[in-house]
């Protein structure tokens, strides 16, 4: 050990990775050699080789323990809002804002006009007020936190009336009934999975009722014999009984999706205009910003949310405000379609993806044993945004002679950066809709390595 650590190679490793990490890794490598000797697996010559190569063994080990586990990757799945893949890629203005604020001090909780302590909630508030005129807003850690906070403020130890058709689970860990329970509220289920009428809500209202909750169908759809009370009807019912009506929107699309050939989803603003008291939605789904939960409603209701002690525990940091303000600013300046990657992906016509795909394939035509075909297919809006909404697209089918689709998929995933694709009909499919233009080169080198 002493002799190894004295060698020049090891001096370099010590300055790169730190001496204590080096000692741990070297000890482990020596233990490996020692064990092999004791088990009689090592001849004289291979023993010398093992000792000679120990610096490189140690380097590999140290490099693998110090690389970050969170790495960028290429999303070629065509699923635009992919919760497992980090949801929304940020816009350039949002990235710039994060960098600017991360570098130094900021007025996070400092009022520059008065020169004294200020409120962090002021950030993003002005922009949100532009997007939701007449309303106030509170930003928390994510939409789950937004729902938790709102329920705690308005329904602690009281009943929350919710349709059985809306008791949803979103991605394993977010179940509306569980959040309800933890918020201190009591669940009062009404109606059935496929039909909940206004009368069902009405019959459930009593002295213990705290609020009426509506939850957007984010990741599934109930089709066929269905009925759902209209938002206006629920609002009228809430008013008559002085109960707040709250809507968990999930995706937070700001623009009417119908314009891009997608089925129209109601926007949060439309719900507020219909009289819904508070809406909540995520910052990193269709809004295309950082992870956040946004609560919008009448100023006095938002004020009540701010005063709740949970708000302190659920608050967001300066980097989130920085990215969120930049993202919201793109909407206010009406440049969201150009600035925000999620919006670009959603609105790109199939013909544009087709020409991108053909250019991409033409570029790679010459590789032996690799066959790329451009074909029609579908992209998806994805997790917790618009349920199963399919967008016509063009796909690149990858055929490599002699390798199974699963093997190709696995090998693409093991590239640096990893490429995530999908398999259909025993072929690997790539959808350029979700591949950022600047990543096309990376995708090409990954394919070459196949
Ligand atoms: C996605 C979603 C949530 C959870 O939002 P997070 O920002 O992931 O916490 C809650 N409700 C609905 C309807 C959703 O779609």
Q: Is the pLDDT of residue 431 over 80?
A: yes
Mean pLDDT of 427-446: 96
**What mean pLDDT, rounded, does the chain reach?**
91
Residue with tokens 């009022």: 111
- Which residue did the predictor score with more confidence, 43 or 447? 447
Separation of alpha carbons 398 and 354, rounded Å: 15
- Alpha-carbon distances of 337 from 91, 128, 330, 392, rounded to whole Å: 11, 18, 8, 19
pLDDT (0 to 100) of residue 290: 98
Q: How far apart are CA 21 and CA 7, in angstroms?
A: 16
pLDDT in tens, 370-387: 899 999 999 998 865 565
Q: Are 219 and 387 in contact (CB under 8 A)?
A: yes
Q: Which atom of ligand 1 is nearest to the CA of 146?
A: 9
Tokens of 28: 């482990």
Residue nearest to atom 6 of ligand 1 (CA): 143
* Ligand 1 probe mutation, 143, 280, 290, 389, most atoms within 8 A of CB: 143
The per-residue DSSP string of 183-239 comes to: TT-EEEEES-SSEE-HHHHHHH--TTEEEEEEE---S----SS-EE--HHHHHHHHH
- CA dist 385 and 370 (Å) reads 35
The dotted CATH code for 74-83+345-448 is 3.90.1150.180
Domains of the chain by residue range = 2-66, 74-83+345-448, 90-339
DSSP 125-190: HHHHHHHSTT-EEEEESSHHHHHHHHHHHHHTTSEEEEEGGG--EETTTEEHHHHHHHTT-EEEEE
| Three-class SS state of 371 | strand
- Cα(284) to centroid(ligand 1), Å: 10
User: Ligand 1: distance of its center to the CA of 138 in Å?
Assistant: 16
Look at residue 383 in the predicted model and tell me its pLDDT.
67
Buried b (16+ CB within 10 A) or exposed e, 117-138: ebebbebbbebbbebbeebbbb
Q: Are strands 245-250 and 278-282 parallel, antiparallel or unpaired?
A: parallel
Distance CA 88, CA 286 (A): 8
Q: Does domain 90-339 have CATH number 3.40.640.10?
A: yes
pLDDT at position 273, please?
A: 95
**Structure confidence by residue, pLDDT tens digits, 221-251:** 677 778 888 999 999 999 999 999 999 988 8
> What pLDDT, on the 0 to 100 scale, is given for residue 449?
87
Other C-beta atoms closer than 10 Å to the C-beta of 67 total 9
Please list the residues that pair with 399 across neighbouring strands. Answer: 371
Ligand 1 binding pocket includes 136 (Cβ within 6 Å): no
Confidence of residue 257 (pLDDT cuts 50, 70, 90): confident
Percent of the chain exceeding pLDDT 70 equals: 96
- Is 430's pLDDT higher than 60? yes
Q: Which two tokens stand for residue 37?
A: 């000797």
DSSP 41-98: ---HHHHHHHHHTHHHHHHHHHHHHHS-S----EE-S-BSS-GGGTSPPPPHHHHHHH
Rounded Cα gap, residues 218 and 229, in angstroms: 18
Distance 170 CA to ligand 1 centre (A): 7
CB 146 within 8 A of CB 308: no
> What is the secondary structure of 102-114 as a DSSP string?
HTS---TTEETTT
**Given a cut of 70, is residue 388 above it in pLDDT?**
no
Within 10 angstroms of residue 161's Cβ, the number of other Cβ atoms is 29
Nearest-angstrom CA–CA distance, 389 and 382? 7
CA of 438 to the centre of ligand 1 (A): 29
- Alpha-carbon distance of 9 to 55, in angstroms, equals 7
Measured from the Cα of 249, ligand 1's closest atom is 13
Which residue CA neighbors atom 11 of ligand 1 most closely? 250
Question: What is the pLDDT, as a whole number, of residue 220?
Answer: 67
End-to-end Cα distance, the chain: 41
In the predicted model, is pLDDT for residue 160 greater than 80? yes
Residue 138 has pLDDT above 80, yes or no: yes
What pLDDT does 170 receive?
66
Question: CA torsion sign, 32 to 35 to 39 to 44?
Answer: positive
pLDDT higher than threshold 60 for residue 287: yes
Tens digit of each residue's pLDDT (9 = 90 or more) over 261-282: 777 778 899 999 999 999 999 9
Amino acid 367: pLDDT = 79
The CA-based angle 189-190-195, given to 5 degrees, is 130
* Tens digit of each residue's pLDDT (9 = 90 or more) over 53-88: 899 999 999 998 888 899 999 999 999 999 899 999
- Whole-number Å distance between alpha carbons of 383 and 251: 9
- Write down the pLDDT at residue 219: 61
1 has a pLDDT exceeding 80 = yes
In this predicted model, what pLDDT tens digit does every residue of 182-201 receive, in sequence order?
A: 889 999 999 988 889 999 99
Enter the pTM of the model.
0.90
Whether residue 320 has its Cβ less than 6 Å from ligand 1: no
Residue 179 has pLDDT above 90, yes or no: no
Any idea what the Cα angle at residue 384 is, between residues 179 and 321, rounded to 5°? Answer: 80
Does residue 400 have its Cβ closer than 6 Å to ligand 1? no
Is there an atom of ligand 1 within 6 Å of 215 CB? yes
Q: Is the CB of 218 under 6 A from ligand 1?
A: yes
pLDDT tens figures, 320-371: 999 999 999 999 999 999 999 999 999 999 999 999 999 999 988 677 888 9
Interior CA angle at 87 toward 83 and 92, to 5°?
A: 170
């Amino acid at each position: 050990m002493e002799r190894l650590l004295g060698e020049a190679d090891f001096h370099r490793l010590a300055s790169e990775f730190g001496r204590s990490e080096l000692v741990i890794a070297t000890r482990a490598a020596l233990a490996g050699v020692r064990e092999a000797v004791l088990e009689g697996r090592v001849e004289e010559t291979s023993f010398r080789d093992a000792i000679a190569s120990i610096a490189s063994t140690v380097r590999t080990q140290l490099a693998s323990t110090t690389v970050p586990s969170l790495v960028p990757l290429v999303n070629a799945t065509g699923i635009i809002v992919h919760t497992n893949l980090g949801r929304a890629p940020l816009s350039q203005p949002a990235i710039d804002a994060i960098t600017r604020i991360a570098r130094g001090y900021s007025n996070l909780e400092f009022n520059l006009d008065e020169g004294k302590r200020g409120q962090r909630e002021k950030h993003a508030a002005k922009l949100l007020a532009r997007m939701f005129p007449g309303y106030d807003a509170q930003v928390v850690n994510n939409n789950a936190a937004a729902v938790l906070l709102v329920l705690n403020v308005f329904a602690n130890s009281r009943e929350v009336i919710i349709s059985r058709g809306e008791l949803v689970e979103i991605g394993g860990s977010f179940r509306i009934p569980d959040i309800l329970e933890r918020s201190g509220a009591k669940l009062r289920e009404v109606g059935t999975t496929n039909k909940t009428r206004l009368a069902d809500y009405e019959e459930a209202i009593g002295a213990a009722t705290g609020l009426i909750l509506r939850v957007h169908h984010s990741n599934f759809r109930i089709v066929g014999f269905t009925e759902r009370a209209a938002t206006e009807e629920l609002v009228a019912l809430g008013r008559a009984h002085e109960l707040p009506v709250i809507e968990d929107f999930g995706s937070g699309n700001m623009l009417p999706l119908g314009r891009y050939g997608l089925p129209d989803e109601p926007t949060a603003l439309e719900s507020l205009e219909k009289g819904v008291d508070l809406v909540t939605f995520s910052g990193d789904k269709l809004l295309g910003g950082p992870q956040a939960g946004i609560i919008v409603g009448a100023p006095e209701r938002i004020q009540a949310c701010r005063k709740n002690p949970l708000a302190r525990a659920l608050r967001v940091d300066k980097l989130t405000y920085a990215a969120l303000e930049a993202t919201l600013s793109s909407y206010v300046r009406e440049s969201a379609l150009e600035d925000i990657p999620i919006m670009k992906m959603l609105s790109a016509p199939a013909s544009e993806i087709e020409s991108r795909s053909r250019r991409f394939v033409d570029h790679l035509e010459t590789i032996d044993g690799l066959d790329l075909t451009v074909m029609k297919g579908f992209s998806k809006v994805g997790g917790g945004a618009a349920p199963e909404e399919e967008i016509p697209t063009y796909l690149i089918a990858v055929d490599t002679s002699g390798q199974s689709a699963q093997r190709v998929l696995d090998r693409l995933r093991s590239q640096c950066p990893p490429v995530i694709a999908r398999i259909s009909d025993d072929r690997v499919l790539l959808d350029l809709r979700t591949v950022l233009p600047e990543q096309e080169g990376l995708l090409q080198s990954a394919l070459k390595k196949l």
